[in-house]
Chains A and B, each alone.
Chain A
């Protein structure tokens, strides 16, 4: 039922996304594009749409996986330091490996975000007080510490401006040739699907997993690698997109439950629709200028986050 509406909405929004922008391209021109229009369409509009969809899908699924593995509804790439660690990795790549190509940058950023996420999970193991609100606060603090280290070194090396490009997610810079790295996360989604049951079982606790003969550590590690790699790819190509991995899985959980295998498709769909909506909104509000996606998702997402916190008692 709901899925059908989401699919229709996704198609409509995708269509709209292709035809919103400074250069006037109307659907009516579709079969008689001028050279300029063709170029804009294939160099900017299509890459933008594709990157939005991939980012929305992977961040939402990453959030879902993290919430299962950490057994906390409010842990996500934003609230566990994953994004900040990835950004720190990018800075290190810029400073230490000045001639690093995009792929090397990705590898270094990935290593950092993975290490950061692991560190957070280790901290989580140590914390005695498993209060659902306390954990993401620790994560946010942890992320801010890493972020301030990043700022410190960026300042020292005169890279502040460079780094702020990665601070705020922004799809307006996406053109053909600058986003293709995101395709790497497509197989990650497939792996996530095949591991879905394992993540859910791991989410029921180590004893529970062991009883069912599941290799708990392996499941957690695979999950964290998927999360760290897909987050890195998004941060590297688009920038920080806060709250997406937090809000979308929580909404899906309310109406579809937490069995990842059942909820994966809905999560992907809703994630794509949500971010697409925010992006189009950002493009329309102060037309012909743009509000970066990080800001629109941040504002709308944090609003929903507060709402979820308030209604937590009702369902979590």
Chain B
């Protein structure tokens, strides 16, 4: 379990994350939603130790994140930030292989190659594995990065806007993979996501942030309501139930 205990972070006078406390359940997908500038990405960065908080603690399975060795944490938690504008020419396989770095420190063993092959298969990248990243489309590239985090074989996978710049087909594909990661492999997935319908359909829990504070948190059914979403986004949405899934219609 990830326990976020009253985390705050400010830049200058502006509090970006303001006294946030959240518990994240194991083996589930938790989505962080909220308007621009709500502090979602910052919170994810703090949870994953990429940033340090001004006050508060993050505990992963009872261990304080900022007191755990970075190398050990890399075997427990993988974080993929948005905007991976990589300038390096790497093959897909090489990129995925770097996911094994926390274990191999550069010397890949047979076991590592098994994990790499599996991750490639999981993301359906076997045919593309020898291509360079700069020869791939946005969706393929994103899949390659997610394959790397899968190869990292961590219990916790944190993704910052994984659907950014992807079309619907690829977005659905990636969300389905995340679903499988949670359901089949029991991984705990945390994502920052903008499209509330993707959040509604594919996640188990939702944390809604606004102005650095938690506005609401709970199961999908608890959060995807006209009232709560009005509080978070400040706009009226009608919620339709289609095939037992809650779809927000926010075009007014």
**Interface residues, chain A, CB within 8 Å of chain B?**
68, 71-73, 132, 194, 196-198, 200-201, 203-204, 207-208, 210-215, 253, 257-259, 261-262, 315-316
Contact B87 A197 (CB under 8 A): no
Does B27 sit within 8 A of A, measured CB to CB? no
Check B141 for interface membership: any CB of A closer than 8 A. Answer: no
Name the residue on A nearest B70 (C-beta): A213
Cα A201 to Cα B102 with chains together (Å): 12
Q: With the chains together, A71 CA to B102 CA distance in Å?
A: 22
State the Cβ distance, A209 to closest chain B Cβ, in Å: 9
Contact B98 A73 (CB under 8 A): no
Contact: B90 with A211, CB < 8 Å?
no
Question: A200 to B94, alpha carbons, bound, how many Å?
Answer: 11
Chain A residues with Cβ below 8 Å from B188 are none
In the complex with contacts A203-B88, A207-B81, A316-B87, A213-B98 CB distance below 8 A: no
Residue in B45, B94, B98, B152 whose CB lies within 8 Å of A257: B94
**Residues of chain A lying within 8 A (CB to CB) of residue B101:** 197, 201, 212-214
Contact yes or no, A315 B89, CB < 8 A: yes
Contact indicator B102/A258 (Cβ below 8 Å): no
The segment out of B71-79, B170-178, B190-198 that lies at the interface is B71-79
Instruction: Report A-chain residues with C-beta under 8 Å of the C-beta of B134.
Output: 315
* Residue from B79, B84, B106 within 8 A of A196 (CB atoms): B106
Assembly CA distance A196 to B97 (angstroms): 14
Q: Closest 10 interchain pairs by CB? A: A213-B74, A213-B71, A197-B106, A258-B88, A258-B89, A212-B101, A257-B89, A213-B102, A259-B94, A213-B70
Total CB contacts across the A-B interface at under 8 A: 75
Alpha-carbon gap, A14 to B79, bound state (A): 49
Give the residues in chain B near A73, CB-CB below 8 Å.
87
How far apart are B151's CB and chain A's nearest CB, in angstroms?
A: 11
Q: Decide if A213 touches B90 in the complex (CB within 8 Å).
A: no
B53 CB to nearest A CB, Å: 15
Q: Name the B residues within 8 Å of A315 (CB-CB).
A: 89, 134
Known: A212-B102, A257-B94, A259-B94. A72 touches B70 (CB 8 A): no
A214 to B103, CA, bound (A): 11
- A-B contacts, 5 listed (Cβ < 8 Å): A208-B81, A212-B102, A212-B152, A215-B70, A257-B94
A211 and B88 form a contact (CB under 8 A): no
Inter-subunit contact B87/A213 (CB<8 Å): no
CA distance A204 to B70 in the complex (A): 17
Say yes or no: is B91 at the interface (Cβ < 8 Å to chain A): yes
When distances are taken between beta carbons in the complex, the residues of chain A under 8 Å from B94 are 257, 259, 262
Q: Name the residue on A nearest B145 (C-beta).
A: A208
Q: Which residue of A has the minimal Cβ distance to B91? A: A257
